[in-house]
Structure 1
Amino acid sequence: MEIGEIQKWIKHFYGERGWASYSPFIRVGFLMEETGEVARAVRSYEIGRDRPDETTPPQEQLKLDLMEEIGDVLGNLSLLADLYGISLEEAFTAHKQKLLKRFSPLLS
């Protein structure tokens, strides 16, 4: 799936459930929550949680958990961009241009 198709699918899927109509401030809150879950998943994958009341899942499951959380971040980021009429492709292009401009002199 191309990034534009992904953004369109997310908007439709979340919209069908009434999840796409939240204000930007609420959406940012969801994004931060999901970002925290990515941090927790990375920690679990890299160093574990060291809790006697939890069993450590296999590494494959930890990777699937991380992938799921990254997907949640992408979903919320996509919806936030959509609230401002920004495509993920446009956002990435702007990011790429910024980095090339900033670091091109260093590569010469």
Structure 2
Amino acid sequence: MEMNEVQKWIKHFYGERGWADYNPFIRVGFLMEETGEVARAVRSYEIGRDRPDESTQSQDQLRHNLIEEIGDVLGNIALLADLYGISLDEAFTAHKQKLLDRFNS
């Protein structure tokens, strides 16, 4: 899927459930929550978790969880961008140009 197609799909899917209607401050809160879950998934994947109240997961399960959490972050980024009329393609193009300008001087 192309980035703009992903963004449209996310907006539609979340929109059908009323999840796309949150204001930018709430959306940023969700983004921060999901970013924390990515951090926890990376920690679990890389060094594990030593908690007796949690079951041990295989590397495949840990990887799958990391993939899902990264997807949750992408979904929130897509919705936040959409709130401001910014396409993911536009955001990536600007990011790429900024890096090229900064590091290819």
TM-score by length of 1: 0.96
CA distance in 2, matches of 1:89, 1:25: 23
Q: Which residue of 2 aligns with 1:78?
A: 78
* 1:19 positional shift: 0.3
CA distance in 2, matches of 1:85, 1:53: 44
Q: Which residue of 2 aligns with 1:88?
A: 88
* 1:23 positional shift: 0.2
Supply the AA of the counterpart residue of 1:36.
G
Supply the AA of the counterpart residue of 2:89.
E
Encode CA deviations 1:27-48: one digit per residue, 9 max, x unaligned: 0000000000000000000000
Encode CA deviations 1:40-79: one digit per residue, 9 max, x unaligned: 0000000001112222100000000000000000000000
Give the unaligned 5+ runs of structure 2: none
User: Following TM superposition, where does structure 1 have runs of at least 4 consecutive aligned residues deviating by more than 4 angstroms?
Assistant: none
Q: Which residue of 1 aligns with 2:19?
A: 19
Alignment of 1:40-51 (within 5 A): 40-51=40-51
What SS is found at the alignment partner of 1:20? Answer: helix
**CA RMSD, aligned part only?**
0.5
Identity %: 82
CA distance in 2, matches of 1:72, 1:62: 15
Q: Which residue of 1 aligns with 2:68?
A: 68
User: Matched residue pairs, number?
Assistant: 105
Give the unaligned 5+ runs of structure 1: none
Q: Which residue of 1 aligns with 2:37?
A: 37
Alignment of 1:97-108 (within 5 A): 97-105=97-105
